[in-house]
Amino acid sequence: MTAFTPAPFRVQQRYRSLPSEFYSPVQPTPLRGDISLVHFNHALAAELGIRSDSPEDWAAITAGRELLEGMVPVAMKYTGHQFGAYNPDLGDGRGLLLWETRGPDGVTRDWHLKGAGQTPYSRFGDGRAVLRSTIREYLCSEAMHYLGIPTTRALTLVSAREPVRRESIETAAAMIRVAESHIRFGHFEYAAHHLGEDALRTLAEHTIEHHFPDLAETEEADRYPAFFREVCRRTAIMIAGWQAVGFCHGVMNSDNMSIIGDTFDYGPYAFLDDFDAGYICNHTDQGGRYAYNRQPEMGFINCQFLAHALRPLMSDDDLRRSLRSYETCYNETFAGLMRDKLGLAEPQEDDMTLVMDTFSMLHQHRIDLTLFFRGLSTLPSQGPSPVLDLFVDRSVAEQWLARYQQRLQQEQRSDDERERAMCAVNPRYILRNYLAQQVIQEAQNGDYEPLAELLTVLQNPFDEQPGYARYAAAPPDWGKHMSISCSS
């Protein structure tokens, strides 16, 4: 590895300091056949403090063919509730924690190689990931980051000639995902239900020390309740962010919930196009457990699963009190985000009635969420047409706009100021499913340029980007409400 010279960048061993029951050392199984670098994330590389003048060198690492000095890969063990049922047999079945590095910003991050081959936790799986789903994760985690929603990131992506059997034969791929932690709610469920109180306490202390350092000095009696309260708070903030932007995760199992409140494990996710409150993006979720409008409740249920695991560490009263903070925090955060989206800087008592009525209208008339709020943002400079044109029955929109204009009269900000503020929170560009589908098809044909271009557009979701208007357009009919398979 010639071109690789670590900048101010230190290797750390956090996760491997846990008891050995929490992981298994596993070497990656190299991808076979020709490999090609599909994307390298220069912006993230800079944050990590790694040189990227020769990104091709990272292809071999991502393909599991080379390890850098200091990489000691391990598969993490965790369990979790999948669609409400407890599964003790989970863990990194195709992913490996490669190492943890501290960047020039002083932040330590995990590097996780997804698609690295089989591990002791693979069950019947082949340990591989496919190009389609790794591109989807890569795109969405970057899109979420630039939308300001806490998320894992994506550093590199390779594809290989090796065929992988899913519902059809697909192209094998692997990616490196980066996050401040890969510890999940499911790690705590594993410790509590299989290892016992000592291991649970060790995991809690480890998580607090490395990921919630502000709590480390708190007295033990308060430390665990404060930790759990903070996890509930971060989870609530993350999900409020999803709801405001119309993001559906699709598989909110407790093993896919990050303890630090990152959006995590992108599978059959979707951004809403025409607004449908009950939208189910995962076609295997027939009961709609993880439908868009159930996500806030599902976040709470996952916090309850976590509470159950944490019972040996604190009283039920403390757990209940911390759990209650989820709802308060969700409601406050969501209300704040919606006020910002509507451009309401001076809160009024019945603002939430306006918000709920707005959602009802969008649902009833199946209005594109993103185009509606962006159109509303530019009312002063563009007039009402971008909003009115979204409705078949324009009188519905006219009545709503009249009510909205009346509400705006209670605001002090100038129209210009409000427009600027609203454009900074209502994205012009989101990752519509059909856009992802198009770049996946191009990549499967060996052309990675469209993927790179889409990623560039998604880096500035709030700015007008001349020349890229097509990415902001409403989806074609074939591209609406695509339901995505869980198989990845």
Residue partners of 281: CB distance under 8 A and separation at least 6: 248, 250, 268, 269, 270, 290, 292, 483, 484
> Structure tokens of 200?
């649970």
Q: Give the count of beta carbons closer than 10 Å to the beta carbon of residue 405.
A: 11
Q: Give the count of beta carbons closer than 10 Å to the beta carbon of residue 348.
A: 13
Q: Of 175, 187, 43, which Cα lies nearest the Cα of 103?
A: 43
Of these partners, ligand AMP, Mg ion, none, which one is at the site of residue 88 (CB under 5 to 8 Å by kind)?
none
Identify whether 255 is a catalytic site residue.
yes
Nearer to ligand AMP by Cβ, of 94 and 233: the residue is 94
448-480 core/surface letters (b: 16 or more CB in 10 A; e: else): bebbeebbebbeebbeeeeebeebbeebeeebb
Q: Applying CB under 5 A, which part among 162-170, 257-265, 440-448, 465-473 lies near Mg ion?
A: 257-265
Nearer to ligand AMP by Cβ, of 52 and 151: the residue is 151
- Residue 30 carries which DSSP code? P
Q: Applying CB under 5 A, which part among 258-266, 287-295, 322-330, 397-405 lies near Mg ion?
A: 258-266
For the CB of residue 470, give the shortest distance to ligand AMP in the complex, in Å. 32
Of these partners, ligand AMP, Mg ion, none, which one is at the site of residue 93 (CB under 5 to 8 Å by kind)?
ligand AMP
Q: Applying CB under 5 A, which part among 103-111, 256-264, 288-296, 343-351 lies near Mg ion?
A: 256-264
Of these partners, ligand AMP, Mg ion, none, which one is at the site of residue 117 (CB under 5 to 8 Å by kind)?
none
Quote the Cα angle for 149-257-433, to 5°: 55
- The residues facing 85 across adjacent strands are 82
Of these partners, ligand AMP, Mg ion, none, which one is at the site of residue 343 (CB under 5 to 8 Å by kind)?
none
29 binding Mg ion? (CB under 5 A): no
**Interface map 259-298 toward Mg ion (x if CB under 5 A):** ------x---------------------------------
Kindly name the residue from 57, 92, 110, 255 that is annotated as catalytic: 255
Nearer to ligand AMP by Cβ, of 153 and 374: the residue is 153
For the CB of residue 13, give the shortest distance to Mg ion in the complex, in Å. 24
Nearer to ligand AMP by Cβ, of 86 and 359: the residue is 86
Nearer to ligand AMP by Cβ, of 174 and 454: the residue is 174
For the CB of residue 255, give the shortest distance to ligand AMP in the complex, in Å. 6
Of these partners, ligand AMP, Mg ion, none, which one is at the site of residue 432 (CB under 5 to 8 Å by kind)?
none
For the CB of residue 269, give the shortest distance to Mg ion in the complex, in Å. 12
For the CB of residue 211, give the shortest distance to ligand AMP in the complex, in Å. 21
Whole-angstrom distance, CA of residue 269 vs CA of residue 282: 7
Of these partners, Mg ion, ligand AMP, none, which one is at the site of residue 125 (CB under 5 to 8 Å by kind)?
ligand AMP
368 binding Mg ion? (CB under 5 A): no
For the CB of residue 25, give the shortest distance to ligand AMP in the complex, in Å. 16
- The one-letter code for the residue type at 258 is S
Whole-angstrom distance, CA of residue 331 vs CA of residue 317: 22
For the CB of residue 95, give the shortest distance to Mg ion in the complex, in Å. 9
3-state secondary structure 246-283: CEECCCCCHHHCECCCCECCCCCCEECCECCCCCCCEC
Residues lying near ligand AMP in the complex (CB under 6 A): 90-94, 121-122, 125-128, 251, 256, 265, 267, 488
92 binding Mg ion? (CB under 5 A): no
- The one-letter code for the residue type at 14 is R
Of these partners, ligand AMP, Mg ion, none, which one is at the site of residue 270 (CB under 5 to 8 Å by kind)?
none
CA atoms within 13 A on the CB side of 438: 18
Q: How many binding residues for Mg ion (CB under 5 A)?
A: 2
Q: Of 151, 131, 136, 141, which Cα lies nearest the Cα of 63?
A: 131
Nearer to ligand AMP by Cβ, of 190 and 400: the residue is 190
How is 80-118 classified by DSSP, letter by letter? EEETTEEETT-S-SSEEEEEEEE-TTS-EEEEEEET---
Nearer to ligand AMP by Cβ, of 151 and 256: the residue is 256
CB < 8 Å & 24+ apart, contacts of 68-73: 68/1, 68/4, 68/99, 70/11, 70/99, 71/98, 71/99, 72/13, 72/16, 72/25, 72/99, 73/25, 73/26, 73/27, 73/28, 73/97, 73/98, 73/99, 73/113, 73/116
For the CB of residue 256, give the shortest distance to Mg ion in the complex, in Å. 5
256 binding Mg ion? (CB under 5 A): yes
Q: Which residue has the tokens 């407790």?
A: 254
Nearer to Mg ion by Cβ, of 28 and 80: the residue is 80
Hey, which residues are catalytic here?
255
Residues that bind Mg ion (CB under 5 A): 256, 265
